[in-house]
Amino acid sequence: MCEALGLPRASLYRRAHKGSSALPSNRAVRPRAALALSEPQRQEVLDLLHSERFSDLPPTQVYPMLLEEGRYLCSVRTLDRLLAQQNEVRERRPVASHPVYAKPELLATAPNQVWSWDITKLKGPVTWTYFYLYVILDIFSRYVVGWMVAPRESAALAQRLIEDTCRKQSIAQDQLTIPADRGSSRKSKLVAELLADLGVTKSHRRPSVSHDNPFSESQFKTLKYRPEFPDRFGCLQDARAFCGPFFGGYNTDPPHGGMGFYTPADVH
């Protein structure tokens, strides 16, 4: 019959099952507990919880405050249950709402259209000492167009690196977009004003979402997973001496699997 009507058998059984739920149940009716609150008592408790004094407090705080005053209306669990029946167990205080950030999507069809830049830490000679590696990467060619190792993270240093790199690459007005994360130096006023003066469009990834800037993160992993990468650098000059040959070889020597096995320098 289902084939003749063109009706799936599962639909027939599902509808029949839903219809059976309207039939009277054989389950025994649970008797009302002898110590259960009466309707006037329930209303008294709800009025107390809705009062100005307790409207912003959870039952775990209301209960001991009433006990200190010598009042016992019901248990903490009963307070929770009464609020749940009124659909009031959610956070009743005003809480901050976070905006919905759109996922940034940037497309580069040629070199020097979109750069990605970020800063990573390099361990210093002793615990809690770091050097900071600034790297600017072209996302079309994966070519490292600029880098710098500095003793601190600074918006002024970032400003100088971006300005020098744009000059070396002969960036014109409204040619380039530079996305970055939301670090202090990446969001600084100095960098923002510089990019505006150079005619460079800036964008930021969503908060706490590292894979919105995957090119810089991947490049940092390539650096730090090298077999010769040291556990610590003895001084700032040691870090610069290591990064110089690495970036030179990164740009010219190894073929890049994501670019048809061309080197970043060839594509750039």
Q: Residue 255: which region, alpha, beta or left (left: phi > 0; alpha: psi -120 to 50)?
A: beta
Residue 183 in this model has a pLDDT that exceeds 70: no
Sheet containing strand 130-138, strands side by side: 115-123, 130-138, 144-150
For the chain, where do the domains classified as CATH 3.30.420.10 start and end?
Answer: 115-267
Q: pLDDT value at position 26?
A: 59
Q: Does domain 115-267 have CATH number 3.40.47.10?
A: no
> Among residues 179, 217, 205, 202, which one has the least CA distance to residue 101?
205
pLDDT in tens, 34-89: 888 899 999 999 999 999 999 888 888 899 999 999 999 999 999 999 988 888 87
Give the integer Cα–Cα distance in Å for 58 and 36: 22
Q: Is the dihedral of CA 209, 213, 214, 219 positive or negative?
A: negative
Give the integer Cα–Cα distance in Å for 134 and 118: 6
Q: How far is CA 16 from CA 10, 25, 41, 63, 120, in A?
A: 10, 16, 43, 48, 63
Query: Could you tell me the pTM of the whole model?
Result: 0.58
Q: pLDDT value at position 229?
A: 94
Nearest-10 crossing angle of helices 76-85, 59-68: 130
Q: pLDDT value at position 22?
A: 47
Residue type, 183: G
Q: pLDDT value at position 187?
A: 56
User: Mean pLDDT lowest for which of 60-74, 94-108, 114-128?
Assistant: 94-108
Q: Is the dihedral of CA 171, 176, 179, 184 positive or negative?
A: positive
Residue 27 in this model has a pLDDT that exceeds 60: yes
